[in-house]
Structure 1
Amino acid sequence: MSKKSRRGLVLAAPASDSGKTLVSLGLGAALVSRGQSVQYFKCGPDFIDPSLHRQVSGRVSRNLDLRMCGASFVRDSFARHGDADFVIVEGVMGLFDGGETSTAALARALNLPVVLVVDGAACGESIAALVYGFTTFDPSVNISGVIFNRVGSEGHYRLLRESVESHCRVEVLGGIPRHDDFVVPGRHLGLHMEHDGPFSPERLGVMADIVDSHIDFDRLHVLAGPLPQPPEQPTAIRTVQQPVRLGVARDAAFCFYYEDNFDLLRAAGAELVFFSPLVDTELPPDLDALYLGGGYPELYAAALAANRSLREMIRIRAAEGLPIYGECGGFMYLCDSLVTAEGEEYPMAGIFPVRAQMKKSLARLGYRKARVMKKTLWPAGTILAGHEFHYSEIDAMPDRVERAYQLDDGRMEGYCCNNTLAGYLHLHLGGNFGAAAHFVDFCRTGGRAATERLS
């Protein structure tokens, strides 16, 4: 497909659990099987859907979050990484949920049409009222097509299609039948991660065939919007004499990262060195700092505990002053121990003198603005944007451990111990121009100082 014919759309739904992720994966798999390159984006802060997107497209999926990053950064990321034949932006929750940070707001910011995935399982003619309401609620949002999901039969599909076409000014692009391969078991953070393997190549092939035979791809391409040409100039990279070697924990236990953060850190002068706390018995050599992201340490607590040599090495390097940054699951790993939902306790790195305990229900959820309280990775007073979503809580942190941030809801969050900063907040560095550079500069000075103390 030529660059002039590159197309894209936002895939949204009236509500959560309508099947938009499954339809998104099926659409992408069908397009790939037709020989087209597909680039995914995800509306909002979710880590899980982008992992599944990558399974289908073979390309890194990006988060587009107006709340954390602002419209300018979002548009730039979209233009910079949307260099594919077809772009799918998967929405979050219901189309209009979230107001100024909703899927609808993102569609407006990107000037893309919306295709609405509607669960038709328990609907007849009434589905037209639902679709009519969505298509007329906000005229600034261009809902150009509808895909029905969980359709019971050909007769059911005809009923749904004729009802919508009779009452709504929107095209029906097809209806996906109920099928065992269009169901995925849940996980407390949403869908399964890529590491869990719910979508084998064979299953993705079946999904592609189902979508290919039930969706009008010719009309889909017509209704999808044209895409801006990617900028010719790459992201500017600071000229530095020597890059900062930043060790990044990345495996099945630590897999929640915003890819744009990696890009921003590289552009600021960081060399990312990936390692696995599950299998690597020692840290990579000559590191200036560590970055432990979120994920599922509770599912791999036994294996993390069994890797005693790495836990001990991280604890020693922290005591020596190596800059270490941990988010959510990474923070849990840096605590004394982790207690699973079943009550089993496992030793962790032991930098913070508390236990992290899994709970049966959600502990925290929501966007946060954080003001840095003391100079660490960032100068005091820096405002950072992030998101909380976790099922664990820690014991009361001793007063002697300094607090890192004050959140916009008044709470103190995040903790500092020597040059280690960790907490439950997942930060997006795109929300603060200069945050990545401050991060790298601190790691350069702090990490080199720690190395000099060793020599």
Structure 2
Amino acid sequence: MPSCPALLVSAPASGQGKTTITAGLALLHRQLGRRVRVFKTGPDFLDPMILEHASGAPVQSLDLWMAGEDGCRRLLAEAAAQADLILIEGVMGLFDGTPSSADLAARFGVPVVAVISAKSMAQTFGAVAFGLAHYRSDVAIHGVLANHVSSARHAQMIQAGMPDGLRWLGHLAPSAQMALPERHLGLHQAGEIDQLESRIAFTAQALADTALAELPAAVSFDAAPHDSHHAQPRLLEGKRIAIARDAAFSFIYPANVSLLESLGARVAFFSPLANEPVPSHADALYLPGGYPELHAATLAGNVITAASIRGHATAGKPVVAECGGMLYLLDELTDTEDRSTPMLGLLPGRAAIQKRLVSLGMQALETKFGVLTGHTFHYSSMTTPLQPESHATRAQTGAPGEPVFRSGAIVASYMHGYWPSNPALAAALFCGKPF
């Protein structure tokens, strides 16, 4: 049974500084010579980019519903066998969502660091900390870190209001040198953040003066009793799969790529933003989500990429497109300033970026191969004459979710699938088989 020191970094709500603290903590322990593995709770693509930058290793998603308990257990056990410290960044507030970060912490016995922003409060900080620590008896709180503390006097007032028995881990002052910028889908991508290395390093240096520089107690992680991810036959043996990957198409679960390779596929990446063609001899193409709306003019002008994708699709080779990848296939994409840009024209229809969130949440797709889990998160709305081949359903209510479209060799949806939840379906998609 592998064991490893582990912490889950959570908070009362979003915007408290979880990603900043987790990234700084990962780098701090790397600088101390430790091997650090970082995970992100729930479906997320942006935070993991930053956390990977800090930790030096791919960041997997842990979600009891999307990845499943056995899947989470396997990932944690594998990390525990390799690392000196496991860090898990929570999602939203500690108890938000079903399942929540608290559910994950309780299930695997991982203690929680509560990061609480002290902006605009003093002794009330202690009441918030007390509530997080005592709301559920099965969640162990390692300690509390105060963020956005304006002065030494402010820190004293906060500490004076702390309840007995709750460990004070230290505090951080607000600093532009640590702050991570945001946009409509969350944080900026790691490659777009100015001076990201120095921001993370500044946070690591600040955390070096706190109790978080000390290794926590080890947690034991059982290996999963069975592992469908590795037990699958090599259904994609010899298949060559091209994946678009750059600032416009970057919402890719590392677990999805690992699954394709474990099924026998050879994976090659290319950049539509760099006007690169689909790699030669590709048998199938994956267009993931991302920010095509921010790069629409460049994508529209990159004729080499466009011609190669059109040639791939018209040759009847499978194309799997999710969210932003699907928008790239449409006739036209309109931004929030009402500027319209022609896209590839391989799917009939148009999309427009909205100023408000259109859809968010976990979804499941029922197929003849079983259920595929995943999520949706988009600010665009789409119109198309195509009739959906099927619909996903919302995880908590069973209400209709995102449509799934098929047009020739193309399968497209707003839903981001977590392919390890259904390896047989993933193989079918990239072989162009009905599902």
What TM-score comes out, normalization by structure 1 length? Answer: 0.88
- The runs of 5 or more residues in structure 1 that have no matched partner are 373-379, 447-455
Residue among 347, 370, 374 paired with 1:386? 374
Please state how far the C-alpha of 1:179 moved relative to its aligned partner.
1.6
In 2, the alpha carbon distance for the partners of 1:412 and 1:50 equals 24
Q: Structure 1 pair 34/301, CA: closer, same or farther in 2 (3 Å)?
A: same
The Cα shift of 1:147 comes to: 0.6
- Tell me how far 1:301 sits from its aligned partner: 0.7
Aligned partners of 1:370 and 1:406 also within 8 Å: yes
1:235, distance to aligned residue in structure 2 (A): 3.9
Shift of 1:23: 1.2
Aligned pair partner of 1:398 in 377, 385, 407: 385
Equivalent position of 2:191 in the other structure: 195
**For the residues of structure 2 that align with 1:329 and 1:239, how far apart are their CA atoms?**
29
Query: In the alignment, which residue of structure 1 is the partner of 2:89?
Result: 90
Q: 1:238 to 1:402 in 2, by over 3 A?
A: same
AA partner of residue 257 (structure 1):
I
Q: C-alpha separation between the residues in 2 aligned to 1:10 and 1:245?
A: 38
SS in structure 1 of the partner of residue 155 of structure 2 = helix
Equivalent position amino acid for 1:88 in 2: L
Residue in structure 1 matched with residue 178 of structure 2 by the alignment: 182
Contact 1:364 1:388 in 2 (8 A): yes
**How many Å separate the matches in 1 of 2:71 and 2:294?**
34
The answer to which of 340-349 and 256-265 deviates more is 340-349
Provide structure 2 residue ranges, at least 5 long, that are not aligned to the other structure: none
For the structure 1 residues 237 and 274, does the alpha-carbon distance in structure 2 shift closer, same or farther, using more than 3 Å as the test?
A: farther
Cα distance, 1:269 vs structure 2? 1.4
Partners of 1:425 and 1:253 in 2: how far apart?
17
Which position in structure 1 is the counterpart of 2:40?
Answer: 42
Kept after mapping to 2: 8 A contact 1:294/1:330? yes
Q: C-alpha offsets along residues 341-367 of structure 1, whole Å, 9 cap, x if unaligned? A: 222222212111111211111111111
Which protein is richer in helix relative to its size?
Answer: 1
Aligned equivalent of 2:321, options 311, 318, 326: 326
2:61 is matched with which residue? 63
Query: Structure 2 matches for 1:331-370, cutoff 5 A?
Result: 331-370=326-365
Counterpart of 2:156 in structure 1: which amino acid? R
Instruction: Say yes or no: does 1:133 pair with 2:121.
Output: no
Distance 2:79 2:48 in 1: 14
Distance 1:336 1:382, change over 3 A: farther
Q: Quick one: structure 1 residues 53 and 163, their matched pair in 2 at CA, closer, same or farther if it must change by over 3 Å?
A: same
Deviations 1:47-83 (A, max 9, x none): 1100000111111011111121221111112222342
* Distance (whole Å) between structure 2 residues aligned to residue 127 and residue 242 of structure 1: 56
Distance in 1 between the 2:139 and 2:413 partners? 38
Matched, 1:212 2:198: no
CA distance in structure 2 between the aligned counterparts of 1:153 and 1:58, rounded to whole angstroms? 33
| Percent of aligned pairs sharing the same letter | 34
Matching of residue 27 in structure 1 with residue 55 in structure 2 = no
* TM-superposition CA deviations, 1:242-269 (whole Å, max 9, x none): 5210000011100001111111111111
Deviations 1:172-222, CA, capped at 9 Å, x for gaps = 111111222232221111111112124432332222211212x1246x424
SS at match of 1:151: coil
Greater CA drift, 55-64 or 306-315: 306-315
CA distance in 2, matches of 1:205, 1:412: 40
What's the CA shift string for 1:291-320, capped at 9, x where partnerless? 010000011111111112321221232122
**Is this contact kept in 1: 2:363–2:392, CA < 8 A?**
no
When residues 410 and 134 of structure 1 are mapped into structure 2, their CA distance, relative to the original with a 3 A threshold, is same
Q: What SS does the aligned partner of 2:389 have?
A: strand
Change beyond 3 A, Cα 1:369–1:238:
closer
| Corresponding residue SS for 1:108 | helix
Residue matched to 1:314: 309
Partner residue, 2:111: 113
Partners of 2:236 and 2:104 lie apart in 1 by: 39
Separation of aligned partners in 2, 1:245 and 1:202:
38
**Worse-superposed segment, 239-248 or 138-147:** 239-248
Q: Residues 132 and 168 of structure 1 are in contact (CA less than 8 Å); yes or no, is this contact kept in structure 2?
A: no
Q: Which of 245, 249, 271 is the aligned partner of 2:244?
A: 249
Indicate how the Cα distance of structure 1 residues 145 and 285 shifts in structure 2: closer, same or farther if over 3 A, else same: same
Deviation at 1:339, TM superposition (A): 1.3
Distance 1:240 1:389, change over 3 A: closer
- Residue in 2 that maps onto 1:54: 52
Equivalent pair of 1:68/1:430 in contact (CA under 8 Å):
no
CA contact (8 A) 1:326 1:422 kept: yes
TM-score (norm 2): 0.91
- The 8 Å contact of residues 114 and 145 in structure 1, kept in 2 or not, is answered as yes
Q: Please say if residues 275 and 303 of structure 2, whose CA atoms lie closer than 8 Å, have aligned partners that are also in contact.
A: no
Q: Deviation per CA, 1:213-239: give whole Å up to 9, x if none.
A: 2x1246x424x44354889x9945745
CA deviations 1:258-283 (Å, max 9, x no partner) are: 11111111111111111111114422
The residue aligned with 2:260 is 265
Structure 1 residue identity aligned to 2:116: V
Contact in 2 for aligned 1:278/1:304 (Cα 8 Å): yes
Question: Residue 347 and residue 106 in structure 1: after superposition, are their counterparts in 2 closer, same or farther (change >3 A)?
Answer: same
Deviation at 1:159, TM superposition (A): 2.4
Mapping for residues 232-311 of structure 1, pairs under 5 Å: 235=230, 238-239=233-234, 242-311=237-306
SS in structure 2 opposite 1:123?
A: coil
In structure 2, relative to structure 1, the CA distance for the partners of 1:264 and 1:421 (3 Å cut) is same
Q: 2:75 & 2:28 partners in 1: Cα distance? A: 25
Q: Which moved more, 1:353-362 or 1:427-436?
A: 427-436
How many residues in Structure 1 have an aligned counterpart in Structure 2? 426
Other structure's SS at 2:186 match: coil
In the TM superposition, residue 40 of structure 1 has moved relative to its aligned partner by 0.8
Structure 2: distance between partners of 1:230 and 1:198: 40
